[in-house]
A and B are shown apart, each in its own frame.
Chain A
Amino acid sequence: GAVVSQHPSRVICKSGTSVKIECRSLDFQATTMFWYRQFPKQSLMLMATSNEGSKATYEQGVEKDKFLINHASLTLSTLTVTSAHPEDSSFYICSARELWGGGTDTQYFGPGTRLTVL
């Protein structure tokens, strides 16, 4: 099946610094990638939809200037948490949708990135 990777898997940073998380589709091209956030023992909340070559679409309540998303190629999307604070600590998960889905709407999920802001 299709594989999506995330890097890093874990990151610890100091408050006020910025952190970049990469999401890659390894064996397929993805025009669309999604970024989710998951709090402990809770469900996934969609943060934004990332489209290759265009600006990301953010969900209501998500600060676009704080969570910068870049989808520079068909296999890579990045999420940068700017000026991170402890409340940004969370598990961030990306997913990717194949370019030629043939009508399928299956998403392939990355393994997630655990961000801890001290």
Chain B
Amino acid sequence: GDSVTQMEGPVTLSEEAFLTINCTYTATGYPSLFWYVQYPGEGLQLLLKATKADDKGSNKGFEATYRKETTSFHLEKGSVQVSDSAVYFCALSFTNAGKSTFGDGTTLTVKP
């Protein structure tokens, strides 16, 4: 079946540090890929997405590129802020199914 593997956390960074959270997937076919963010006590918010190979999703300084050859969708941000502290989930889904398969989540803590 489909699966998503995320870099294990937790990740602790200082403010303005560079962030990378690795994500790889296994799927039959070509899914759309997503990054979601979850702040404490809240639901998920879509951070960015990419629907086909070589697409780059970006939002709020975060970026991720859909790499078909390495089946990856790594999340990056050049300079993190304390407000970026949250849990980040990588996910995939197919248009005709809609339901998503999630990675285990990576907790990011940014210290001042």
Chain A: residues with CB nearer than 8 A to chain B? 6, 32, 34, 41-44, 46, 49, 93, 95, 97, 101, 103-112, 114
Contacts and interface: CB of A to CB of B under 8 A. Distances in A.
Given A34-B99, A43-B103, A105-B94, A110 B43 contact: yes
A109 B43 contact: yes
20 contacts: A32-B98, A34-B98, A34-B100, A41-B107, A43-B104, A43-B105, A93-B44, A104-B95, A105-B94, A105-B95, A105-B98, A106-B34, A106-B49, A107-B93, A108-B46, A109-B36, A109-B45, A109-B46, A110-B43, A112-B42
A43 B43 CA distance: 12
Interface of B: 32, 34, 36, 41-46, 49, 51, 89, 93-95, 97-105, 107
Contacts of B101: 46
A23 B34 CA distance: 22
B104 A46 contact: no
B11 to A, nearest CB: 14
Contacts of A110: 43
A114 B97 CA distance: 27
Given A43-B103, A43-B105, A107 B98 contact: yes
A93 B102 contact: no
B48 to A, nearest CB: 11
Contact of B89 (A44, A111, A112): A44
